[in-house]
Structure 1
Amino acid sequence: MSWDIDRVKDELHKIDLRRKKIKDSEFFETVEEVFDYSTLMILYDLINNGFIDVMYGVVNSGKEARIYFARDRNGLDLAVKIYLTSTSEFRKGMLTYIIGDPRFKVSSRKTRDIIYVWARKEYSNLSKAYGVGVRVPKPITVKGNVLVMEFIGVDGVPAPLLKDYIPLNVDSFFNVLMDYVRKLYVDARLVHGDLSEYNIMVFNDSPVLIDFGQAVDLSHPMAEELLVRDINNLLEFFSDIGVDTPDLEEALSWVKGVKR
């Protein structure tokens, strides 16, 4: 099923009518949680400004966000990531990665405001990673709780995650991944912060790094701890599938560009 600007207008009209009849709390219980009034207004704006032409179904659904397959006016495949504003479950976790990162400030502790900062943070991190040659979904735009980026996959079918699909040349795949971690650290001054087989896609037998909301600047007080965790995750996974991996100290030194 697809929907475009006419459906957005129709949904907005329905929301306006129903808001006059019932309380907001009752209303939001009857509408899919991701499509609240503010989100629909944001989607309307993105469609009206040409970033999105048509949206299709959900291709990934989690506790923090829904990802929809979409296309722009030129037929380019897009992933539209809509962060849920109706849940505060991850608010504390998000703040851990935002506070201490000098690039972003939280002026309010309201869930929606924090999620808006989180969306901008992921867009910024993707932009920096993409700019230094790390293979990530190319970021297109961000507005409110909606992030538009390149779709990684074919005809609406997303590329598999590393946890579900082992590449043909695992040694080469591992080396490319480690090079990406190094580029993030040395060139983009970022640490992914949650890098594992769950946040790496396999596309054309090459790695694509995703989920950059929690990525932090090197000045963040947790940057070193997160880097160690990221590298440990990679070493353990690839060692388990037969790759001859370096030890943690050697891998850390290489990522940081430290001569031994």
Structure 2
Amino acid sequence: MTNKARERLTHREKMVERRDKMLIHDRANERATVEEVFDQTTRMVVFDLLNSGILYEVNGAVSSGKEAKVYWATTKEGTDLAVKIYLTSSAEFKKGMLKYIEGDPRFKNIKRDTRSLMALWAQKEFRNLREASEAKVPVPKPIAVKSNVVVMEFIGKAGTPAPSLKEQPPKNPQRTYSLLITYIKRLYKKAKIVHGDLSEYNIMIWKGKPLIFDLSQSVSVEHPMAQFMLNRDIVNLNRFFSRLNVNVTPTEELHKLVVGK
């Protein structure tokens, strides 16, 4: 065997080993759920991301929900990334997600099988993150999307996510509220989207300022439910900040201010 052929074989063996052991850093109690998240197709998607150099290591899960798990990963240079994997086994989630896709002019010719829907949902989050970022709204920077996997900036340090508003109320609630209203306006006016599920649970405090995450359900302002969802976002923010003694703008007035009517 030539040296070149031996090098190719060694490289291939190492990549296979990385694929099979990429969860070696899993935190306690994570291995019981590995098969649920990493079905064979998803394993190959993550392997492709490793092989392409987008990811170098995939570590333990940092958050877990009915529809997705988020893993802490790193690049070869040591940069932290978040890998969000939508569960293809989430039949209950599939039933509810269609209302956020149908009616959004950005997405047409929708395939309704579970894997196609999850891939579309991942594409939707990636696009929403990109459009929000371009509108100067603080969100995790989108890095890559493939099938049901979204790679984005990790908000936090060394695998520990930044706290949400629910976990750690802001030191200056009035300023935080004002910034969030500015971000909602930018989402609507510049990105042309509505978050749709904004609350203290999906706003982080990072470097002293609020940062919005979980944009998978966000819809175009042209979506039939856009105004209802915008109103719900405002109600949620006003409810939370009222408890912190912030002088909030009345919901109807704020709604008009955002949409410019």
TM norm structure 1: 0.88
Q: Which residue of 1 aligns with 2:43?
A: 40
Q: Report the AA paired with residue 75 of structure 1.
A: G
Q: Report the AA paired with residue 201 of structure 1.
A: M
Residue 32 of structure 1 aligns to a residue whose secondary structure is helix
1:235-246 aligned at under 5 Å gives the runs 235-246=238-249
Q: Tell me whether 1:80 sits opposite 2:90 in the alignment.
A: no
In the aligned structure 2, how far is the partner of 1:231 from the partner of 1:76? 35
Q: In the TM superposition, what is the alpha-carbon distance from 1:73 to its structure 2 partner?
A: 2.0
Residue 214 of structure 1 aligns to a residue whose secondary structure is coil
In the aligned structure 2, how far is the partner of 1:5 from the partner of 1:149? 23
Of all paired residues, the percent bearing the same amino acid is: 50
Q: Which has the higher helix share?
A: 2
Deviations 1:90-145 (A, max 9, x none): 11211010000011135322111111000000000000000010000000010001
Checking the alignment, whether the CA contact within 8 Å between 1:122 and 1:212 is kept in structure 2 is yes
1:78-227 aligned at under 5 Å gives the runs 78-227=81-230
Shift of the 257–7 alpha-carbon distance from structure 1 to 2, 3 Å rule, reads: farther
In the aligned structure 2, how far is the partner of 1:5 from the partner of 1:122? 29
In the aligned structure 2, how far is the partner of 1:159 from the partner of 1:11? 28
> Where does the alignment leave 5 or more consecutive residues of structure 1 unmatched?
13-28
Deviations 1:69-99 (A, max 9, x none): 1111222110000110112111121101000
In the aligned structure 2, how far is the partner of 1:127 from the partner of 1:228? 23
In the aligned structure 2, how far is the partner of 1:48 from the partner of 1:255? 44
Residue 165 of structure 2 aligns to a residue whose secondary structure is coil
**Number of matched residues?**
239
Deviations 1:197-233 (A, max 9, x none): 1111111221110111110001100001000000111
TM norm structure 2: 0.87
In the aligned structure 2, how far is the partner of 1:30 from the partner of 1:243? 42
Q: In the TM superposition, what is the alpha-carbon distance from 1:11 to its structure 2 partner?
A: 6.5
Q: In the TM superposition, what is the alpha-carbon distance from 1:256 to its structure 2 partner?
A: 1.8
Answer with 71-80 or 224-233: which moved more. Answer: 71-80
Q: Tell me whether 1:233 sits opposite 2:236 in the alignment.
A: yes
> Where does the alignment leave 5 or more consecutive residues of structure 2 unmatched?
1-13, 23-31
Q: Which residue of 2 aligns with 1:251?
A: 254
Q: In the TM superposition, what is the alpha-carbon distance from 1:30 to its structure 2 partner?
A: 9.2
Checking the alignment, whether the CA contact within 8 Å between 1:106 and 1:114 is kept in structure 2 is no
Correspondence for 1:10 among 6, 20, 23 = 20
Deviations 1:165-206 (A, max 9, x none): 111111101100010000000111100000011111111221
Shift of the 194–144 alpha-carbon distance from structure 1 to 2, 3 Å rule, reads: same
Q: Report the AA paired with residue 198 of structure 1.
A: Y
Q: Report the AA paired with residue 196 of structure 2.
A: G
Shift of the 232–30 alpha-carbon distance from structure 1 to 2, 3 Å rule, reads: closer
Q: Report the AA paired with residue 20 of structure 2.
A: D
In the aligned structure 2, how far is the partner of 1:97 from the partner of 1:107? 12
Shift of the 78–249 alpha-carbon distance from structure 1 to 2, 3 Å rule, reads: same
Residue 226 of structure 1 aligns to a residue whose secondary structure is helix
Checking the alignment, whether the CA contact within 8 Å between 1:129 and 1:184 is kept in structure 2 is yes
